[in-house]
Amino acid sequence: MTGSVLLWLRQDLRLHDQPALIAAAHMGAVIPVYVLDDEAPGRWRMGGAQRWWLHHSLASLAAALEAKGSRLILKRGEVVAELEKLATETGASEIHAIRHYEPWWVKAEAALGDRLHLHDGNHLAPLRDITTGSGGQYKVYSAFWRALNERMPPPDDLPVPRNIPAPDTWPESEKLADWDLLPAKPDWAKSFAVDWAPGEADALRKADDFVDEVVDYEARRDFPNIEATSRLSPHLHFGEISPATVWHKLDRARNADKFRKEMAWRDFAASLTLAMPRYGYRNGRPAFDALAWRNSAHDLKAWQQGRTGYPIVDAGMRQLWATGWMHNRVRMIAASFLVKHLLIDWRAGERWFWDTLVDADYGNNSVNWQWVAGTGVDSNMWGRIMAPLVQSEKFDAGGYIREWVPELADVPDAAIHDPEAAGMRPQSYPAKIIGHREARERALAAGAAIR
């Protein structure tokens, strides 16, 4: 087999706006390959929810490639070794891939040396080019956004190739079913398919629906009762749609500026972890290394299971378990509750989200948790403690609570946000794990102790 080129796929599982595919197709016969490497990411090995998504996304991509006369080759093992072995077997002279910024992928890309040809395409702009006057990565979002926005719009997205040149013979591929990415019995992900259809086709459809239907995103996005968010986050994480494609679709939407800034936050998070690769487990502000976190397995479990006695928190945590996703405003409330009310290390929450979110992303997960916790370089102050009961009422979460906490279905509107205070807490629903005032005073004291 000669004249072949490997197309190394990771979190870029699409054919539309795929610059690495276009470049590979110009070089010769293309062999698309996905390598499942559970060792290189270390503690960021894909969690259970992500693995469910990956299974279905790979199946969707394989079908799309077959429709173009191509195939998806699956390999499992240490990614650099597997790619080098496949290149030797096929006689591939080059490997083409879209650049990634997670620390384990940066390391793998460097190890592949000159045979690897990298292309930008998973962010709005090449992140290594969005730098401060001294050449470093930005650590404050507002400054990053100004620098990024000067380079917008992104280049026009690339069309799907009419055909993908195939090799005379194909290398052997592992079978997707043998990877056991789907849950064993009992199937905790059985309801995921109600909310999600992984793959490029649904990503493009969902983007079109959002753009055509979005009305005042900025004002409505914080209300969990309203379907006003795009739900594109897992599709963007797995690269089933490119940020450039979404950006250009937004040209026909009204009031798109806020959503574009949210997309820029995704780029900022990746840029920040490029500058600080250990951000996923090290405080951005070293002073917080001395904070006296509580080690309470009981409280952590209550939070994970949605049994804290705070309806808005519990609704979010149960939505997360059932669907692999949680409304963004509720994510902030639930995260703040774990860190400030329960005084449990943000890294315990990051671990839970990593395993249960279909859109778990190293940059977003790390930066968002540290933003809420106040431990990050660009984050809320420690003393900013979200009041979940106030937030619930402010953002009209009654219907959302009833949907996800059925024990409270019959609680009247006036009491739904805090049934315990109203004397209407059903026996089947737990009492508050801690009072808001008590939790606030404890958190403030813990913060004061490290000043």
- 369 annotated active-site: yes
The catalytic residue among 53, 104, 196, 346 is 346
The residue behind tokens 């470049």 is: 23
- 265 annotated active-site: yes
The catalytic residue among 44, 179, 188, 293 is 293
Contact by Cβ (8 Å): 123, 361? no
The catalytic residue among 105, 354, 369, 371 is 369
- Rounded Cα distance, 242 and 239, in Å: 6
- Rounded Cα distance, 252 and 218, in Å: 17
- 53 annotated active-site: no
Identify residue 310 by its one-letter amino acid code: Y
How many CA atoms are closer than 13 Å to the CA of 383, on its beta-carbon side? 5
| Residue-wise DSSP of 159-198 | PPPS-----SSPPP---GGGG--S--SS-TTTTHHHH---
Contact by Cβ (8 Å): 189, 360? no
The catalytic residue among 78, 82, 94, 262 is 262
- 295 annotated active-site: no
Both tokens assigned to 89: 């077997």
- 354 annotated active-site: no
- 328 annotated active-site: yes
Please report which helix (H) or strand (E) contains residue 9, including its range: strand 4-9
The catalytic residue among 149, 225, 255, 328 is 328
Contact by Cβ (8 Å): 408, 429? yes
The catalytic residue among 196, 265, 382, 404 is 265
Secondary structure of 243-306 as H, E, C letters: HHHHHHHHHHCCCCHHHHHHHHHHHHHHHHHHHCCCCCCCCCCHHHHHCCCCCCHHHHHHHHHC
Active site residues: 262, 265, 293, 328, 346, 369
